[in-house]
Structure 1
């Protein structure tokens, strides 16, 4: 009988430790998501008309690399360190993609 009580107590303690470990892991995940959200919210994202995009980007989207793709939306994104790039939402039929270009039309991400 004593062994049964000790075994039950041991299983209870193991269960408690397991639950605590899962809670700590979940908390760490929530903190990581909160940090990413904060970083993303520090970016400034302003919609830009396709016709108002810089000449370098206009040339890039008219090139053979973008043949068949159309720009649906364009945004000027300013990072917290003041770095800027253009984020283009493009489509080719049912395919959609997100393209990040600098003002000269070079891919930045």
Structure 2
């Protein structure tokens, strides 16, 4: 006996449990859009290089990025290394730390 595909589909619908689940997103979550563009360490603004030279002279810049947030504010994310220790600095174009 051959069962038609429509009959199989109806049979599956009949035996499949109905789940009424709703997914709710948290209301207190802020989504921050931002973009990152790689920057060569030698192309960082002079005030940023000055901060690195004075306050982080023992550290070597391993990578740097210009980060632009969705509100168009910008800062430099700078990854630095000293021996086996690594750290990340966020500095504005004036060489001041930002959060």
Provide the TM-score with structure 2 as the length reference: 0.68
Equivalent residue in structure 1 for 2:61, among 71, 90, 95: 71
- Structure 1: 5+ residue runs without aligned partners? 1-26
Query: CA offsets per residue over residues 25-82 of structure 1, 9 Å max, x none?
Result: xx77xx56xx67x53xx2010000001000100111110x202101000000000000
- 2:40 is equivalent to residue 49 of structure 1: yes
Report the RMSD for the aligned CA atoms in angstroms: 1.8
Q: Which residue of 2 aligns with 1:61?
A: 52
- Structure 2: 5+ residue runs without aligned partners? 1-22
Larger Rg: 2
